Amino acid sequence: MKATILHNPRCSKSREALALLTEAGAEVTVIEYLKTPPGTDELARLYAKAGLSPRDGVRKGEAEAKLLSGADDATVLTAMAANPILIEPPLVETDKGVVIGRPPEAVWRIL
């Protein structure tokens, strides 16, 4: 099985999700999204496939996230693409779907 993970190596949940994928034998493509941020179209596609709104994928602990309360989806996606620290890691995609790996065990739903 192939999987793609938007990964932050400094995030313990992201590291745990990556370990679960590896242990499950997935062929994993790792994208360090802070170095290679996804664009608005890619983020919109991922959240739609996950059945989530972009707001569901915002890392709420970031100061900039508070500025997005009440913002529309396009504004949230633009902010996330411009400042990828706003993306809640890890975001994992397989042929079976997309999940935010919080908790990391959520990844099992798409394996």
Query: Among all residues, which ones are annotated catalytic?
Result: 11
Q: Which two tokens stand for residue 44?
A: 């919109």
CA 50 to CA 25: how far, in whole Å? Answer: 22
Q: CA-based angle 27:28:30, to the nearest 5? A: 160
CA angle 16, 17, 20 (to 5 degrees): 90
